[in-house]
Amino acid sequence: MSTNFSEFKLKVDWKPTRFRGHSVKRNISQYLWNKKIRKQTLAEREHKCRICGYEPDEANLRHLEMHEIEHYDENNLICTLEGIDLICKRCHAFHHLGFTFSRTTEEQFNELIRHFIKVNNCTEEDFRNHFKAVRDKKFQGIPSLAEMKKIREDTRVVRYRVTGDIPYKDEVISQLKKKDLYI
């Protein structure tokens, strides 16, 4: 049984509850995101998944997705965009596992697990142990019901920082500032 998950190329992750549905992508124009940033990212990354190496033909480029690498300051509700990865849909599914699990059939989820096993050259037991380790770490400070109610009643707005070297960074920041979302 492997316990050194740092060797895994593909890892399980998910956003903290308060940040679900919030991203830089959702707060800038889709023209900027899809026509400019995505186009440049595809070219720079040579139309290839950074994790598993998947290289679709021109007709299947939609299977490559841009994953926002984010850091979350939960106390101040600040989401920092540290970079953008170009990864395939299957690899991307593991970066948002809670969302993925809620939207896939058991058969689809099992196929994703097989992808994880292949990419990491590991066993299903390794996957389950990695998942458990991430889950236990993410939820060690799970809020009480009173704290969850307080989170729901929190009317503060998620704000953003952009620290990574991303395409069209100045335009992204400008659009966030216009919405008073940049800090």
Q: pLDDT tens string for the chain (183 positions)?
A: 446 798 999 999 988 888 988 999 999 999 999 999 999 999 999 999 999 999 999 999 999 999 999 999 988 999 999 999 999 999 999 998 878 888 999 999 999 999 999 999 999 999 999 999 988 887 766 667 777 677 667 678 999 999 999 999 999 999 999 999 999
Task: Tell me if 161 sits within 8 A of 182, measured CB to CB.
Answer: yes
Could you tell me the pTM of the whole model? 0.86
Strand, coil or helix: 121: coil
Kindly give the pairing relationship between strand 78-88 and strand 159-162.
parallel
Strand, coil or helix: 146: helix
Residue reference for tokens 């400019």: 36
